[in-house]
Amino acid sequence: MDFEYWPRLLYLVLLLMAVGGWIFVEYRNRMGQALRAAAAWGLIFVGVAAGYGLWGDIRSDHRPRQMANEAGEMVLRRAADGHFYAALDIGGTEVFFMADTGATNMVLSRRDAERLGFSDQDLRFLNEASTANGVVRTARVELPEIRFGPFRDQGLSAYVNEGEMEGSLLGMDYLRRFSIRIDGERMVLSR
């Protein structure tokens, strides 16, 4: 134990004795009321601590907003996990992508591919890709019109990852169509 431990312990013991003494004197003839008050404050404390601890989990379900600014640029806000996310409308279906400048291609999770109408029976996993998790097989698909704010693109290719992915990746085949500027907590994409 270090030298600073004992004074801190002494301070906490004296503080506990002072507060405990006050409670004892104040509630001397009403101990039931004191216990109810202590239980209420204990539950309030536990509720606040639980809310604080769960706040990150609650917030992670909400994707940061994206918006088109007056200059015709798309602005993405940095999410709590440090990444930038974009919502693209692909053939009338909204798909959330993590902007990944380290990914070569636009990569769809199997769940997003299914939402876009690509069933497992139609996919042919003939290609391979090297990822941070190793080599995975991919299936090439053609996407209809892609809308991203004011921007429209036709007939782009994407790859469906055979492995498990939390979400889809917006790689450089799509991002290279933009001039990208990262300004603090914002990613600005313009053409």
Q: Report the DSSP beta bridge partners of residue 143.
A: 156
Give the pLDDT score at 57. Answer: 62
Instruction: Identify the CATH number of the domain in which residue 112 sits.
Output: 2.40.70.10
Sign of CA dihedral 152, 149, 93, 137: positive
- In the predicted model, what is the mean pLDDT of residues 156-162? 88
**Are 45 and 130 found together in one domain?**
no
Give the pLDDT score at 1. Answer: 56
Q: pLDDT grade, residue 165 (50/70/90)?
A: confident
Token duo for residue 152: 């429209």
Domain that holds residue 115: 66-190
Per-residue burial over 51-64, b = 16 or more CB atoms within 10 Å of its CB, e = otherwise: eeeeeeeeeeeeeb
pTM, two decimal places: 0.64
**pLDDT above 90 (res 37):** no
**Are 108 and 167 found together in one domain?**
yes
**What residues contact 165, with CB distance under 8 A and at least 6 apart?**
107, 109, 110
Number of domains in the chain: 2
